[in-house]
Amino acid sequence: MFPERLRALRKGQKITLKELAEHLNENLGPDEKPNTASQIGNWERGIRTPSYIEARKLAEFFDVSLDFLTGKTDRDDFDLAKLFFTGKNLTFNHTALSKNDRYEIYNLIEGYLKGRDNRLDTDQFYGNQEQLNLKLK
The per-residue pLDDT for range 3-19, each reduced to its tens digit, is: 999 999 999 889 999 99
- Please tell me the distance from the alpha carbon of residue 61 to that of residue 67, in angstroms, as a whole number: 14
DSSP secondary structure letter of residue 72: S
Residues in CB range of 1: below 8 A, 6 or more apart: 70, 71
Show me where the domains of the chain are located: 2-70, 80-126
The pLDDT of residue 115 is above 90: no
The per-residue pLDDT for range 119-137, each reduced to its tens digit, is: 766 555 555 556 656 666 5
The per-residue pLDDT for range 2-61, each reduced to its tens digit, is: 999 999 999 988 999 999 999 999 888 888 889 999 999 999 999 999 999 899 999 999
Q: Would you state the CATH architecture of domain 2-70?
A: Orthogonal Bundle (1.10)
Query: Average per-residue pLDDT in the chain?
Result: 83
- Please tell me the distance from the alpha carbon of residue 78 to that of residue 1, in angstroms, as a whole number: 20
Confidence at residue 123, expressed as pLDDT on a 0 to 100 scale: 55
In the three-class reduction of DSSP (H, G, I as helix; E, B as strand; rest coil), residue 95 is classed as: strand
